[in-house]
Structure 1
Amino acid sequence: MNQQKGKTPDAPATDEALIGDFRRALDNIAALADTLNFPGWTRTFRAARRALDDETLPATERLARALQGSQVFGGMGSWLDSPPAVAYEQGLSATYDDATEALLDIRERSQKFLRRHPQQ
């Protein structure tokens, strides 16, 4: 194996590639929230997505705002609370797992990127 420890092999090299991945993850999870009839979650994910589109801001600020807006994990009433049960009832558990994992992954990669490229 030629991988450096702690480095994701498919991690984007640029902030714009990372923003693109973040957009896709938020679009997918917002669509799922809509399908599961969780309009509050749909609005939350779409608001985080809009933060990525504000090109008047530097990429690091857009990523930071999207991270803040997509912090939906942990505590009562989190994305990990009722949505997985509804997804299961609708036969969408695999879709829920994939969309949630994609959001967790892009959030982690974005946090790492921001630690390496602090906001000015």
Structure 2
Amino acid sequence: MDILLWVLQVLAAFLYGSSGVMKTFMFDKVSHDVPSFGALPRKAWFVLGILELVCTVGLIVPAALHWWPALTIFAAIILAVESLVFIGVHVKYREVTPIIMSGVLGLLMVFVAYGRSVLAPIS
């Protein structure tokens, strides 16, 4: 179970890290192609991008260093909640693929949080 959770954490860190970089540093370039980016002001997307980048670090570093591993659980919960919010935004704009992606990532983060708190905690 520990190996599966590590694989999921690294995969999620890659996906959320990519998303965070896009929202923070490439927003103007990609926002033209995605209608739902109009749902929030530019500064809000920037803050969400920074949050994703911080949580990306939180998914890996505390668990890898065995330093406050509860931060890994907290990061996963934050990303799960963010995914839930994004599902609502994508539903409003009728973007099916992002709804599915946000749902899958949100469930993945719920599983990581549960896994790291119950199934295979980092001590």
TM norm structure 2 = 0.56
Q: Which amino acid aligns with 1:22?
A: Q
Over 3 Å counting, the alpha-carbon distance change for 1:29 and 1:56 in structure 2 is: closer
Match of 2:65 among 57, 69, 72: 57
Structure 1: gaps of 5 or more residues: 1-11
Name the SS of the counterpart of 2:77 in structure 1: coil
Over 3 Å counting, the alpha-carbon distance change for 1:20 and 1:53 in structure 2 is: farther
Q: Which amino acid aligns with 1:94?
A: I
Shift of 1:55: 8.2
Match of 2:88 among 85, 89, 97: 85
In proportion to residue count, which structure has more helix? Answer: 2
Shift of 1:56: 7.6
TM norm structure 1 = 0.57
Matches within 5 A, 1:1-120: 12-14=1-3, 17-32=4-19, 34=23, 37=37, 38-51=45-58, 52-53=60-61, 57-58=65-66, 61=67, 63-72=69-78, 78-79=81-82, 80-81=84-85, 83-88=86-91, 89=93, 90-91=95-96, 92-112=98-118, 113-114=120-121, 119=123
Q: Distance in 1 between matches of 2:10 and 2:2?
A: 16
- CA root-mean-square deviation: 3.3
Q: Distance in 2 between matches of 1:72 and 1:100?
A: 10
Q: Distance in 2 between matches of 1:29 and 1:56?
A: 18
Identity %: 6
Q: Which amino acid aligns with 2:72?
A: A
Does the CA contact (< 8 Å) of 1:31 and 1:42 recur in 2?
no
Equivalent residues, number: 97
